[in-house]
Chain A
Amino acid sequence: NAGVTQTPKFRILKIGQSMTLQCTQDMNHNYMYWYRQDPGMGLKLIYYSVGAGITDKGEVPNGYNVSRSTTEDFPLRLELAAPSQTSVYFCASSYGSPVGEQFFGPGTRLTVL
């Protein structure tokens, strides 16, 4: 199993550009999450999904959108990139309830200039 994979690893965007961060898991987990981590800080929840076709906002959803058309994939969309979205983005998945172990991807480092 590859676990949770994220692409790209690094990306530089100009203000106003858009992009999609990809996340795929092959563990058949129903829960998936997107977090952002600013330098030296903890992680903040952007969006989460409890299963295919179901998504919900986390703590910091503004400026982002998600979709969950399959169990495996949970892409994160930035429509109009802003410097405040410069961060490291982590995707995670877990099986069963939210208290299940979360498995994290390696992260995407995004810089908006």
Chain B
Amino acid sequence: TQLLEQSPQFLSIQEGENLTVYCNSSSVFSSLQWYRQEPGEGPVLLVTVVTGGEVKKLKRLTFQFGDARKDSSLHITAAQPGDTGLYLCLSNFGNEKLTFGTGTRLTIIP
């Protein structure tokens, strides 16, 4: 079973600060997606990365896919309360069975 480890598990920071969360595996990702889940709802896709070294930006969010395709990071600049949620990475390791990461629960304090 391939594992996706996310760190940190919990993060609580003040509004306006920057932060980075990580998603790591011992296996090579075929592709990787980041989702955000708000309480009482299903996850919503933020981005898909497929190429080693790829960097994608979505407003204040920057996603990076490691060169070796075994890790990914999500950086948020000037965090806002609306960024609060559970951030999940999702990968398929070259097959149809999808694996979610353990999740990072982010709280932005106004």
Give me the interface of A with B, judged by CB distance under 8 Å.
Answer: 4, 31, 33, 35, 40-45, 48, 50, 56, 58-59, 90, 92, 98-99, 101-102, 104-107
Q: Which of B5-36 contact A (CB under 8 A)?
A: 6, 30-31, 33, 35
Interface segment among B51-59, B66-74, B75-83, B100-108: the answer is: B100-108
Known contacts being A40-B105, A98-B92, A101-B45, is A33 close to B98, with CB within 8 Å? yes
Contact B50 A106 (CB under 8 A): no
Q: In the complex, what distance in Å separates the CA atom of A105 from the CA atom of B44?
A: 10
Q: Is the CB of A99 within 8 A of B41?
A: no
Could you tell me if B45 and A43 are in contact, using CB atoms closer than 8 angstroms?
Answer: no
Flag if B42 contacts A106 (CB, 8 Å): yes
Q: Which residues of B contact A4 (CB under 8 A)?
A: 42
Residue pairs across A and B with Cβ atoms less than 8 A apart, 23 shown, are A35-B100, A40-B103, A43-B43, A43-B100, A45-B97, A45-B98, A48-B96, A48-B98, A50-B96, A56-B96, A58-B98, A90-B42, A92-B42, A98-B95, A98-B98, A99-B31, A99-B50, A101-B33, A101-B48, A102-B90, A105-B42, A106-B42, A107-B40
User: Is the beta-carbon distance between A42 and B100 smaller than 8 angstroms?
Assistant: yes
Q: Which chain A residues lie closer than 8 Å to B99 at the CB level?
A: 45, 59
